[in-house]
Chain A
Amino acid sequence: MSGISPVGGFVPFSIPTTVSPVVGAGAPDVTGVEQAAGGGFATALGQGLQSLQQTQTHADELAVQAATGDLTDVHDFMIASTQAQLATELTVTLRNKALDAFNEIMRMQG
């Protein structure tokens, strides 16, 4: 008995030298990114906050309707509050990420 037969060595698989482009994906739209960058992050965040304000106002209106008994659809209120919650989380996450990046750059001086 020769014991455990050796495992045939690692055979490197052939790496394709040319990667065919994914059909239909197309080139990324760089112009849109550049335009957004031109507006600045503050503008984008401001627009996001305005949109968030609208969502929360809508949820608040439905909350008042629920309290006064004028609410026709229970799910409308629940959906509006879910949207407001998600929009808030999205905005806060974006703001935190931007703040992290800013702090990271400020630490470069030290």
Chain B
Amino acid sequence: MSVFSVIGIAGSGATVYRKWLDAVSDNIANLNTVRPTSEAAYQEQRVIAEPMPGGGVQVAGTTVSGSPEGKLVYEPNHPLADAQGYVRYPDIDLSSEMTQLIMAQRGYQANLSSVDRAREAYQAALQLGRG
């Protein structure tokens, strides 16, 4: 509905930030996911945003960053350790993920603020017709 397009645009932004939150929480959840050295380590998930043709933003797709080699850690007692006693940890920086979490949360809140302000503005305009 074109009359309330502000709300739709802000809603698309909120959806993108929600997906970013999903990706960041996925990364944090897999921070200690151990793989044997014969497999690739878990890689950091990233969300790619792109502008929508009619206004708004959408997720173009996800990509992975960081090396599939990860971090080799010497844990000879680990059940997945290889003959040399090494396992693979993902190469994810927790502080970077926490920063992204704050950015995604604030972006989500900012978009919802836009929705709220637009609603207030429309209702103020409708008050004109009630006098």
Binding site for B on A (CB under 8 A): 51, 55, 73, 75-76, 78-79, 82-83, 86-87, 89-90, 93-94, 96-97
Contact = CB atoms under 8 A, between A and B. Distances in A.
B129 A79 contact: no
A90 B15 CA distance: 27
B94 to A, nearest CB: 27
Contact of B4 (A78, A83, A97): A83
Interface residues of B, number: 19
Interface of B: 1, 3-4, 7-8, 10-11, 14-15, 18, 108, 112, 115, 119, 122-123, 126, 129-130
A17 B71 CA distance: 80
B11 A89 contact: no
A73 B15 CA distance: 7
Nearest to A48: B3
A15 B16 CA distance: 54
Identify the interface centre among A76, A79, A83, A94: most chain B CB within 10 Å of its CB. Answer: A79
Nearest to A100: B129
Contact of A96 (B7, B15, B129): B129
> Helix, strand, loop or mixed for chain A's interface?
helix
A78 B18 CA distance: 14
**What are the nearest 10 A-B pairs in CB distance?**
A93-B129, A79-B11, A75-B14, A86-B122, A83-B4, A89-B126, A93-B126, A82-B119, A97-B129, A73-B15
B1 A94 contact: no
